[in-house]
Structure 1
């Protein structure tokens, strides 16, 4: 048994350069797959970690639709035998008092008063200081921006002054902007002891909410409290770990899987090329082995072991390398987000999956050549009638099937993309032939007679060379599709936000807006219309599978500007007829039911089953939201307060008057313009450009390893032919130019085919209902230029190794062997 492994090892390393290039491709494929899976799992863990940190050990909380309620109500719940621990919290809007002059909106800060910093119902990752000390707690970005450390004093305008007792890492409850530009539209957040904040604000005995932990599931107590609070301003909700309103990252996971699959498939194609060529070269060897008594299975086993040896080395090197790349990728990825998030690399399961794929995919791609090796005919091979394999296949059937698969360009279904790529791969021998003839005059002009020979040489091994070009084309096409999506998404989001935001400005308050307040705002010359907006949050509900989720419910009315986009305008009338809801698209998908069925919600008036009359497109919370008619929301749903206003500005007004902070600053909690929403939504996408560029270069680099391997195989097979050319007068320089021309032609075909395939994929995606108008048909010019330049340069670098090999061929010895 040991002997067969040694034989396989010698066979694998017989062609050392080919062995190196194939191994490099396999290592790269495993590494990229590992990196993407590590990024996927780690990203998922990061958001789960912060979800759980937000939830802490709390099971339920009591809130109010009037901003605050009496602590006496909370104490009545706290003494219940099922309640283990409670945490009282008060939120109050204020302003930093700074030494430097800053506009009032940039100094806005939400102060959260907490009854016990060390409670298990509150998770605060301390970076500096101690939670035991009674002082103000700052998140790291705020501490850096204010230049404050532990022991320094922070002063709040018209309230008081307190020393910094601790600085904490990112946590959702204290999410704050990290620069003054961000502070223009998003306020800072800090924590202080509850009694201090109550004394400062005069809200003694008042809190905004209470969290509590129960024995067991607490379901009976929850139902009792729902009934007890019915009709009052307070209500009870389960604490649910669900941050889908603030994190829409499902597309990111798809992106990771796509790149991982692309990398391992490209490396699989390269393995297929190498193993099949090796089998064709060794047909005489296999025939002799079979004539000496080797069985078909023995020959196939020999080749299989060669693949396993390569796969083992690739996995051993590629997995640790991929984990390291994944760590670098996570640092780059998390820098895209506005907050300083920490992460712990989740590499174990991705490493196992990648290791498994590192063995399975090379074997799968090698099954045909392994079978072909075992089926070698003794008689035909010894007579000299060796098979040329599938590489010579340019049958009309292949051409017809390839064209037929391209019809999927007009089919709106996810499988269409796979069908298009399969069709392109089938057509590539014909594409290579056409491009060879088109570029033949150019190659002849640039490389001389070597260019003409390069075209002929590629045709002699059309299948192998076409597969190599196809590998490059597929990598370029998929990355171009991703690039087009990243390019188009900001415009798509901007159109959706402007059409469904409901106005030009949204202002939020800590107390319900009175008619007097509204009239004062309407008197602003810049303001055209003012509409109330009620947002009931947090509202928990159940999916069809019984899982708890959480979102906001927004009020709509016939007078308001639309908060959603849907072609069926009768939905507004249906909302008025009876208490019912419209779900945003993401919420509808997560719910899992059908239109006309009922969704179970824990409303301020208790558990209710509300009919879902439609799903709509909206920019609010990326579609993870529900809508209800404002009258029903007040009476049937139980949410009375309206803390938000939507303002439409007069045409030509490009900014909202800063004096609103002076006029309403005592209860104003936030001002957001539609431009602010567009900027915050699209900024993370724009930061993805650099990552797409890096991935494009990695994919083209991986495909170029295949090009190097193919050109080298072509050169080694023609050693005798090249020696004869040298003997009749060809110079070393002419031979080099011939091989460089072959590499250039493979690169040109891959780049041209990749761009054309990418255009087909972009066209298909732009017509897809799944994209919902977020990807318009346009060619991402910057990505195309990078693809063309990188593809051609890498192809020339790849063919340089083969050209160097050809120049080192020993003329006399190779002619003797020939």
Structure 2
């Protein structure tokens, strides 16, 4: 057995450069696979971590449908034996007192007062200081902007001052702007002791919410107080870990898997090319082995062990590199999303998965050559003088099949892209031959006779060269498609936000808006219309599978502001006229899992209720993870009559002065002023930032493909030793040999990039017309990405060819002629 492994190792390393480049392909493929799996798991962990931090150990909470409720409202519930721990909280809006000329909106801050900063119902990750229930707790970005450290004093307008006792990491409860620009549209958030905040405000009995923990599941207590709180202004909800309203990252996981699959595909194809060529070259060796008593199985086993050795080495080297790349990628990714988040790299599970996959995929891609090695005929192998080239008829059939498969991309189904990729692979010999003929005059002009020979050599191993160019093309095409989606997505979001935002500006208050507030807003010369918006939040509901989720329910009316686009033919507003009906945003509908006409179970301020889902609609609000109800029904049936938001229509010349005036007049309870343009910028900033990562990944993918180019040219050179030796004997210089190999590499690179650009354009066009995208993506070519692809493809292909050209120029003339 040991002898078999030693023979396989000797065979694997007999051609050291081929061994190196094949191993390099496996290492890079494994590295990218590991990195993407780690990024996928770590990203999921990051958001789970912050969701769990938001929930802490709380089971339920009592919220207010108004601004606050008296503490006496929940006193009987707190005395229930099932309640094991409580946390009281009060939110108040005010302003920082700062030196300098910062405007009111930049200084706006919401103070959350809690009765126990160390409570298990509250998870606050401290960076510096301690939670002493005496001082102010600042998030790190706020401390940095205010230039405050633990022990420094912070003053609040009209209230008082307190020392900073702790500085914390990012947490949803204290989520704050990280720069002054962001502070123009959203308030800072800090935490203070409840007693101190009550002393400042004089509200000794007011609460915004109470969190509590129960003994057991607490369902009986929940149902009991759900009924008792009706009509009190307070309502009870389960505390649910559901952050989908603020984090629409589902597509990010798909992105990770696409890149991982692409890396495996390219690396696997390189392995296939190498092992298949090796089997063809060793046919006589296998025939002799079989004539000496080796069976089909033992020959195949020998080749299989060679691949297992390569896979083992590639895994042991590639996986650790993947851990490093995954860590670097996560750092860059969270910077793109502009979150002040921390992460712990989740590498153990992904590493195990990546290790197993990296052991399997090189073997899987080699199964056909391994089987072919065992099937070698002794007589035919000893008779064969060379490699039989496919007939022109087989190319015609292959081309027709490729065209049919490529046309499948216009079938509106995700699987059609796999058919399109298969079509590209089938068509590539014809494409490579066509590009060779088209570029022949140019190569003759620029490279003279070596260029002519390079074009001719292209056809000697047309399938191998075509496969090498094809894997480059597939990589370029898929990256171009991803880049096009990312580049045009902001336009889709902008269109959706503009059409469903409901106005030009949305202002949010900590207290319900009154009619006097509306009348005052209408006196502003910049404001032409004011529309109150009721948003019941947070509201828990159940999926078809019985899992609890949480979102907001917004009020709508037909003559009011447009908050959604109707998706179906049914008139949504007319359907919502009926009692106990609701429309869901697309993401909420998908998460729910039911059908139109089914009922959804919701925990409302008026208790548990069933609502018929009458439609699914497109909306920009909470990225579609929300619901809509007729305004009157939201007040009467649902039990939510307050409006904390206003949608303003403003004149074209409205500027910063309007924002400043709003904060001046309503600053005591105003918490957020956001324009539609700011919502567009906030939604699209992370997507736009992904372009840089896409370009980086594309260069890595092209570099991986270029490893295949180098390997292919090395194999071509090895097979043409006698030919190159003859050319040298007839007067070819080393420089001309190098030029010839460089020209071959350039042809392969040009063909791969050209094929990738054409395929990418086709995929982009088909995707833009797909109903699955629903007009979200427009047909636009990502020109910068295409230019990078062209430059990187040519440069890296020439670099790969240069390595092979050096080997070709060093071929010993006499030794090569003797071999012939």
List aligned pairs for 1:704-743, cutoff 5 A.
Answer: 704-743=706-745
Structure 1 residue 576 corresponds to structure 2 residue 569: no
Distance 1:486 1:307 in 2: 38
Match for residue 106 of structure 1? Answer: 106
Return the offset for 1:814.
1.5
Equivalent position of 1:320 in the other structure:
320
Residues 569 and 525 of structure 1: CA distance in aligned 2, closer, same or farther (over 3 Å) = farther
Counterparts of 1:215 and 1:397, CA distance in 2? 72
- The residue aligned with 2:70 is 70
Of 776, 797, 800, which aligns to 1:798?
800
The aligned residue for residue 525 of structure 2 is: 525
Residue in 1 that maps onto 2:665: 663
Q: State how far apart, in whole Å, the 2-side matches of 1:575 and 1:314 are.
A: 60
Please tell me whether the aligned partners of residues 392 and 461 of structure 1 are also in contact (alpha carbons under 8 angstroms). no
Q: Deviations over 1:503-543 (max 9, x none)?
A: 00111112222212111111111111111100100000000
Counterpart position of 1:594: 595
Partner of 1:230: 230
Cα pair distance change 1:392/1:727, threshold 3 Å = farther
2:747 to 736, 745, 748: 745
**Structure 1 segment 207-606 matched on structure 2, within 5 A:** 207-385=207-385, 388=388, 394-567=394-567, 568=569, 570-606=571-607
Q: Deviations over 1:574-609 (max 9, x none)?
A: 112223111000000000000000000001100000
Whole-Å separation in 2 of the counterparts to 1:280 and 1:462: 15
Cα offset, 1:359, TM superposition = 1.5
Look up the SS of the partner of 2:766 in the other structure. helix
8 Å Cα contact 1:280-1:389 kept in structure 2: no
SS in 2 for 1:319: helix
Q: Deviations over 1:748-783 (max 9, x none)?
A: 000000000101111111112222322211110000
Match of 2:811 in 1: 809
Query: Is the Cα contact below 8 Å between 1:497 and 1:618 reproduced in 2?
Result: yes
Offset at 1:456? 1.1
Contact 2:117 2:133 in 1 (8 A): no
* Offset of residue 690 of structure 1: 1.2
Higher mean C-alpha displacement, 666-675 vs 300-309: 666-675
- Distance in 2 of aligned mates of 1:719 and 1:106: 74
CA 1:125/1:153 → structure 2, altered by over 3 Å: closer, same or farther?
Answer: same
2:756 maps to 754
Bigger CA drift: 510-519 or 187-196?
Answer: 510-519
Q: 1:221: how far off? A: 0.4
What SS is found at the alignment partner of 2:619?
A: coil
Structure 1 residue 653, shift from structure 2 partner: 3.7
Instruction: Give the Cα separation in 2 of the matches to 1:799 and 1:670.
Output: 59
Q: Residues 249-289 of structure 1, C-alpha deviation per residue, up to 9 Å, x if partnerless? A: 00100000000000011000000000000001101100100
SS at match of 1:697: helix
Residue 21 (str. 1) matches residue 21 (str. 2): yes
Mapping of residues 165-176 of structure 1, within 5 Å = 165-176=165-176
Gap change, CA 1:388 and 1:13, over 3 Å in 2: farther
**Which residues of structure 1 form unaligned runs of 5+?**
none
> Does structure 2 retain, via aligned residues, the 8 Å contact 1:86–1:211?
yes
| Equivalent-residue separation in structure 2 for 1:394 and 1:622 (angstroms) | 51
Map Cα deviations across residues 212-261 of structure 1 (whole Å, 9 max, x no partner): 00011000000001111123311000000000000000010000000000
1: CA distance, partners of 2:578 / 2:625: 24
1:46 is aligned to 46
Question: Displacement of 1:75 after TM fit?
Answer: 2.0
Q: In 1, distance between residues paired with 2:739 and 2:668?
A: 78
Displacement after TM superposition at 1:391 (Å): 10
Distance 2:102 2:201 in 1: 23
Cα gap change, 1:392 to 1:460, in 2 (>3 Å): farther
Between Structure 1 and Structure 2, how many residues are aligned? 818
Cα distance in structure 2, aligned partners of 1:338 and 1:137: 22
Deviation at 1:392, TM superposition (A): 9.0
Alignment partner of 1:583: what SS?
strand
Equivalent residue, structure 2, for 1:135:
135
2:610 paired residue number = 609
Identify the residue that residue 685 of structure 2 maps to in structure 1. Answer: 683
Flag the 1:788–1:458 CA change in 2: closer, same or farther, 3 A. same
**Relative to structure 1, is the Cα distance of residues 391 and 29 closer, same or farther in structure 2, using a 3 angstrom cutoff?**
farther
How far apart, in 2, do the equivalents of 1:712 and 1:524 lie? 76
Distance 1:367 1:352 in 2: 23
Q: Secondary structure at the match of 2:186?
A: coil
Aligned counterparts of 2:541 and 2:153: Cα–Cα separation in 1: 43
Q: Structure 1 residue 384: deviation in Å?
A: 2.7
Q: 1:391 to 1:300 in 2, by over 3 A?
A: farther
Cα root mean square deviation, aligned: 1.3
- The aligned residue for residue 625 of structure 2 is 624
Aligned to 2:94: 94
Partner secondary structure for residue 600 of structure 1: strand
Segment drifting more, 586-595 vs 371-380: 371-380
1:3 aligns with 2:3: yes
| Native 8 Å contact 1:501 1:620 kept in 2 | yes
Note the alpha carbon deviations across 1:94-115, whole angstroms, 9 max, x for none. Answer: 1000011211000000100001
User: Which stretch has the larger CA shift, 564-573 or 693-702?
Assistant: 564-573
Q: Which residue of 2 aligns with 1:768?
A: 770
Deviations 1:455-514 (A, max 9, x none): 111101000000000010001001101110111011111110000000001111122222
**Partners of 1:27 and 1:307 in 2: CA distance:** 13
Q: 1:338 Cα deviation (Å)? A: 2.7
Structure 1 residues 267, 644: closer, same or farther in 2, change over 3 A?
same
**Contact 2:601–2:609, Cα closer than 8 Å, also in 1:** yes
Describe the SS at the equivalent of 2:496.
helix
Matches of 2:403 and 2:286, distance apart in 1: 37
* Deviation for aligned residue 1:650: 2.7
Alignment-derived partner of residue 640 in structure 2: 639
Cα separation, 2, equivalents of 1:651 and 1:791: 47
> Counterparts of 2:375 and 2:679 in 1: how far apart (Å)?
65
Q: Is the 8 A contact 1:91 1:113 kept in 2?
A: yes
Deviates more, 1:510-519 or 1:418-427: 510-519
| Other-structure match for 1:787 | 789
- Secondary structure class of the residue paired with 1:683: helix
1:34 is aligned to: 34
1:391/1:463 contact within 8 Å kept: no
Cα 1:226–1:238 change in 2 (3 A) is same
Shift of 1:651: 4.4
Partners in 2 of 1:579 and 1:562 — Cα distance? 21
What CA distance in whole angstroms lies between the structure 2 residues aligned with 1:338 and 1:811?
A: 61
Contact 2:82 2:221 in 1 (8 A): yes
1: distance between equivalents of 2:160 and 2:654?
37
Range with greater deviation from structure 2 (564-573 or 731-740): 564-573
8 A Cα contact 1:409 1:763, kept in partner: no
Superposed, 1:114-129 pairs within 5 Å as 114-129=114-129
Which residues of structure 2 form unaligned runs of 5+? none
TM-aligned CA deviation for residue 657 of structure 1: 4.3
Instruction: Tell me how far apart the structure 1 counterparts of residues 813 and 698 of structure 2 sit (CA, whole Å).
Output: 41
1:195 matched residue in structure 2: 195
Asked if 2 retains the 8 angstrom alpha-carbon contact of 1:175 and 1:339, the reply is no
SS in 2 for 1:628: strand
CA distance in 2, matches of 1:123, 1:609: 34
